[in-house]
Amino acid sequence: MKMRLSTKGITICLFFFVLSLAAAIEIPLSVAQLPTITEQSHTQVAYPFDEDFTIKCEARGNPQPTFNWTKDGKPFDLLSDPRIVATNNSGTFVIQNRGIITNFQGKYRCFASNVLGTAMSEEIELIVPSVPKFPKEKIEPLDVEHGDSVILHCNPPKGIPPLHIYWMNIDLQHIPQDERVSMSLKGDLYFANVEENDSRSDYCCFAAFPRLRTIVQKMPMTLKVSRFKHANDSGSPNAAVTKANFIKERKPRLLIPPESAGSSSSVTVIKGGVLLLECIAEGLPTPHLNWVKITGNLPKDEPETENFGKILKIDHVTTADEGTYQCTASNPMGRAKHEFHVHVEEPPQWIKKPQGGVYSVGTNLVLLCEAIGNPEPTIQWKLNGMPIDTPDTVWVFAGRTFRGRISAREISLTNLQLQDSAVYQCEASNKHGTILASANVNVLNIAPLILTSDGENYAAVVGYSAFLHCEIFASPAADIRWTKDDSIEPLSTLRYELNKNGTLEIKETKKEDSGSYACWAANSVGKRAITANLDIRDATKLVVTPKNPRVLKSHSILLKCQAEYDSHLKHSFKLSWRKDGDELPVNSTESGRVILDRDTLFISSVTQEDQGVYMCVARTSLDSVMAESWLIVLDVPDPPEDLQLSENQNRSVRLSWKAGASHNSPVNESIIEFEENRWEPGRWQELTRVLGNDTTALLSLAPYMNYQFRVLSVNAVGKSQPSKPSLRYATPPAAPDKNPENIRVEASEPNEMVMKWEPLKPMERNGPGLEYKVSWRQQGVEVDWNEEMVKKHSLTLRNTPTFVPYEIKVQAVNNLGSGPEPNITIGYSGEDVPDAAPSGVSVDIVNSTLVKVFWFGIPRDRVRGHLRGYKVSWWKTKSMLDGKRHHPEKHFLTFVGDRNYGMIPGLEPFSEFRLTVLAYNSKGDGPESSSVVFETPEGVPEQPRFLRILNFDKDSVTLSWGLPKKPNGYLTGYILQYQMINETHEIGPLSDVSVTNRSTLSWRLSGLSSSTKYKFYVKACTVKGCGKPVTEEGLTMAQGTYAGIYDGISTQGWFIGLMCAIALLTLLLLTICFVRRNKGGKYSVKEKEDLHPDPEAQSIKDEIFGEYSDSDEKPLKGSLQSINGDIKATESADSLVDYGEGEHGMFNEDGSFIGAYSGSKEKGSVESTGSSTATFPLHA
């Protein structure tokens, strides 16, 4: 162990350090010395069940001591009995337990002697107990009268204490004892007065000797108790006993102490022992004992009494317990007293014991011997075990002359010489014991002996103290000094300190303290020296990471112990872990939950028990350091406890609770929940929350509830478990505080009205017998209210006018009264379909595909309900191109709200249509208006059906195309366009060719470049403009070749088969599309216009939808079903919702229409072909 340097600044001179160190150091056995007793036995009992008994006496000395014994003050020869086994070079002997060994009982003393003197042991008493037995005797029965006092004597045999005495019957049942019957300290059984039930023939006294493992029994004794002989003439036994008792009644008389002892007696007790004072009295009635101290200091505590007040007991007696104690035995007839004069004495105790030691020639010594005791002890000096008692200054003892004087308490010797070495013994004795002290006076004259080995190697760590040992024995005392390396100067700075035993302490060591040191010892006889080597190592350093982590319960934590230590100490370096000071086992614990792996400590599924201070301990052969980290476990709080209700009111109560442990995360909120068993038993609901760590809240309650409450605590980790519920708290009933809400009218028939509302929740009822008082009257017609009480939350009225307003009130009522005055709600009776059609229907043609419809709405009273909007239906009657009539296929658009116009998109150009308008409400559609006929003007044609390149030459090409699928008017011709393109899709200038003959379907273009790729466009035209083009790409032939795109492959069989398959697949897809559209499917609309937009549509768009700057109109998306959801075979089930100027605009942010147009398509309908689709920009 190395110690830090103290701050005591004391200059220590280490050279010429003169001190008698020999007295403090045990004399080496190599030096001649007096005998010294090192071990001895004390009082010993020879138990009969032991095989042998060992009497010990060991001593050391030089020369080796010889041993002698005395028994009872007389020499005792160990060879006198073959049962004694002695030990060589030892005073110890063993007595074998064979035969009768009582002759070995006595007091032994051991003497160890050599030529220098004799050492003596204390007396060793050997007790050889006999087996205790009660004598065989015939005990005569005791025949006594009722009320007499009796003593049954035990007289137990002698034996080794302690002795326990019991009075029992033959069945080993204890004789009951009380104030009347009790046992004395000597074991006799005393009866203060006998009764008839004391008669028995088996009073047995048992004496137990625990140390002898023996219990002996005395012969049973018989006690006969008879009635008073003069009371036999009494007629009643009880009367006889009463008379006898009256005659026998007497005042107390002390049996212990006996009357012969007088009124007082003296008692002596050993200090520190137990004081027992005993008083036993006889008398009738039974006397009561009382104790009091009448002189001396009163005891601090009331003395303890035993045996029903008959024994006064004081433990650990002190001199303060001296004095006079009085016991008083009293009954109604009188009293008896006795005084005990208590004296406290004590055996001898040392005040000063003679101290021996090593002395040099010519010195003086004084041996003191002083003891106290009561009575005062006598002092006896002995020299080498023999008594000496002479006051002379020079005396001769055992042939040796001594100079000095002897008194009762000291021996003084002057000018000691080598032959004065001796053992002086001092014995102090009084009647309570004897004590012995020995002092070995060794007079020596020797050169220093250095007991520490030469060349010892020491090591210490930087900053700690280093200790270099130099244990010396010398007489006279030696001077000690230390030097370092080659220096002859003694070490004398503050960091060096020489201890009494010669050890050099170097405080707060540094690296430069390493080196070789020498210890020099010298006295008048001679000198000696040894060397020692010191190495200074780096101190071990520790860091535990993380420092004081906070971990959620059930999470894991890894503690790392990072250590730095001197490389020379790596073989002795060890790490260990402790928790709260207790070392953790190296092996994993708790089924691997806590794992130690040298410098790491891993804890998985952390629990509250894991919280604490974890300490990493690093040990080397030179130092030990510790680093700690406090692991803090965070968890949800423990549930609150001890819920109490106070401040009870009809609608409030105060709830208080005790917060549970917060587990290192403070409670920031408490949630109070309630459960009531009248409406929703067993369901807990949140009532309120209390912020912070408050533990009380005033709760607002509802009437007519039987509450119980519980509390949950919340901290940063989460919620605690709920507390145990509080006691129940019932609130009295009251009238409702509120009326039903969400009052509304629903009706499925024209002449009825169903009034509905949200019923009150159970907590809102406030009392039993909840009903609803419903009041209604027709607005503006009736003055008086109609009323009806209902228990449900609806009421149906029949035979009401169609769609007229009513004022409605609903009020909650229970057995204790009504709720507050209800608010009035306006509701309408049942609706019917409109009975009028819109009038003044007219159509404005916007372009070839778009018209704007106007109408006059129907009067409000003809709507007969809430107007939902208008529906516009239209159908194509014939084509203006060929005059053919068409089967009417209706389409419709719905316009929501009260409005008088709408836009109809997607019409076929150059066609005749009919159109009607109707109004509808939530009940259904009203009658249609008269149909209006209108015609759409010509439009631009669709793209040609195909474009083919028939022949390619080096500078020319022949194009062929088909008629447009829908010309949308009278064709006026075609426009051909072409331009060069390359592999990077860069395009050249566009060239135009106008074909004015509308019947021309092919054209040869010349003046083309050879071996060049071209893109060709063909579009059909009417008076309204040209439609979208159909395109194709091709490569002109190189010089000297003649080929077209389709030449060479058009005659190949695989190509013909491929074309047939494509044609068949196209026919199949067209059939499927036709079937779907006949069933009300949607048709697709292209999202963006192609390279060449429809000029007519573009102009209309610029005129009508000028506010929308985005050129990419969006197609119609989605399908809007009709108002009644029916899909008829002759009508489209989809509609376009209102859009444009109204609040229900149907355009995206870029102005595109977001409705969807659907319906079966006939030959003249708008249909996408090739890469071109129609776009419908709409605006109302």
Is residue 626 a contact partner of residue 541, using CB atoms and an 8 Å limit? no
C-alpha–C-alpha distance, residues 308 and 287, integer Å: 11
pLDDT band, very low/low/confident/very high, at 887 (cuts 50, 70, 90): confident
Q: What is the token pair recorded at 672? A: 């109070």
Dump pLDDT digits (tens) for 600-617: 999 999 998 999 999 999
Dump pLDDT digits (tens) for 161-198: 899 999 999 999 999 999 999 999 999 999 999 999 99
C-alpha–C-alpha distance, residues 979 and 1009, integer Å: 11
pLDDT of residue 750: 84
Between residues 1090 and 956, the one the model is more confident about: 956
Is residue 480 a contact partner of residue 520, using CB atoms and an 8 Å limit? yes
Q: Which of 226-230, 989-993, 1071-1075 has the lowest mean pLDDT?
A: 226-230
Is residue 663 a contact partner of residue 636, using CB atoms and an 8 Å limit? yes
pLDDT band, very low/low/confident/very high, at 1119 (cuts 50, 70, 90): very low
Query: In DSSP terms, which residues pair with 53 in a beta bridge?
Result: 95
Q: Is 264 in a helix, a strand, or coil?
A: strand
Q: Which residues make Cβ contacts (< 8 Å) with residue 226, sequence separation at least 6?
A: 143, 144, 145, 146, 196
pLDDT of residue 953: 83
Q: Which of 143-152, 577-586, 887-896, 1098-1107 has the lowest mean pLDDT?
A: 1098-1107
Question: Whose CA is closest to 841, among 925, 908, 939, 913?
Answer: 913
Dump pLDDT digits (tens) for 1143-1156: 333 333 333 333 33
pLDDT surpasses 70 at 1128 = no
pLDDT surpasses 70 at 1094 = no
> Nearest-5° angle of CA 1024, CA 1029, CA 1034?
155
> Nearest-5° angle of CA 900, CA 906, CA 907?
85
C-alpha–C-alpha distance, residues 418 and 64, integer Å: 19
Strands (E), 72-123: 74-76, 84-86, 93-96, 106-114, 117-120
Other Cβ atoms within 10 Å of 279 Cβ, number: 27
- Does the pTM exceed 0.85? no
pLDDT of residue 1030: 93
- DSSP secondary structure letters along 764-833: G--SSS-EEEEEEEETTT--SPEEEEESSSEEEEESPPTT-EEEEEEEEEETTEE-SPPPPEEEE-----
pLDDT surpasses 90 at 1126 = no
Is residue 420 a contact partner of residue 441, using CB atoms and an 8 Å limit? yes
pLDDT of residue 60: 93
Other Cβ atoms within 10 Å of 1090 Cβ, number: 18
User: What single letter denotes the amino acid at residue 16?
Assistant: F
pLDDT band, very low/low/confident/very high, at 468 (cuts 50, 70, 90): very high
Q: Are strands 334-352 and 323-331 parallel, antiparallel or unpaired?
A: antiparallel
Mean pLDDT of 482-509: 89
Mean pLDDT of 16-42: 71
Dump pLDDT digits (tens) for 657-704: 999 999 999 999 999 999 999 888 999 999 999 999 899 999 999 999
Q: Which of 18-27, 577-586, 972-981, 1144-1153 has the lowest mean pLDDT?
A: 1144-1153
pLDDT surpasses 80 at 397 = no
> pLDDT over 90 for what percent of the chain?
58
Q: Which of 21-35, 223-237, 1121-1135 has the lowest mean pLDDT?
A: 1121-1135
pLDDT surpasses 50 at 27 = yes
- Residue 617: is it exposed, middle or buried by C-beta count within 10 angstroms (0-12/13-18/19+)? middle
Mean pLDDT of 636-643: 94
Dump pLDDT digits (tens) for 210-263: 988 899 999 999 999 998 654 444 445 555 455 555 568 999 999 999 988 889
pLDDT of residue 1055: 67
pLDDT of residue 858: 93
Question: Whose CA is closest to 536, among 600, 461, 473?
Answer: 461
Instruction: Report residue 921 CA to chain centroid gap.
Output: 67
C-alpha–C-alpha distance, residues 1160 and 1162, integer Å: 7
pLDDT surpasses 70 at 143 = yes
pLDDT band, very low/low/confident/very high, at 300 (cuts 50, 70, 90): low
C-alpha–C-alpha distance, residues 144 and 140, integer Å: 13
Q: CB-hemisphere CA count at 13 Å for 586? A: 5
pLDDT surpasses 60 at 62 = yes
pLDDT surpasses 60 at 22 = no
Q: Which of 239-253, 775-789, 863-877 has the lowest mean pLDDT?
A: 239-253
pLDDT of residue 291: 93
pLDDT of residue 1109: 31
Strands (E), 848-940: 850-856, 867-879, 891-896, 901-904, 911-921, 924-925, 932-935
Mean pLDDT of 1011-1034: 92
C-alpha–C-alpha distance, residues 910 and 308, integer Å: 138
pLDDT surpasses 50 at 331 = yes
pLDDT of residue 1108: 30
pLDDT surpasses 60 at 1120 = no
- DSSP secondary structure letters along 156-209: PPP-SSP-EEEEE-TTSPBPP-SSSEEE-TTS-EEESS--GGG-EEEEEEEEEE
pLDDT of residue 1053: 62
Q: What is the token pair recorded at 773? A: 């008082």
Is residue 788 a contact partner of residue 776, using CB atoms and an 8 Å limit? no
Q: Is 219 in a helix, a strand, or coil?
A: coil
Dump pLDDT digits (tens) for 845-863: 999 999 999 999 999 889 8
| Averaged pLDDT of the chain | 83
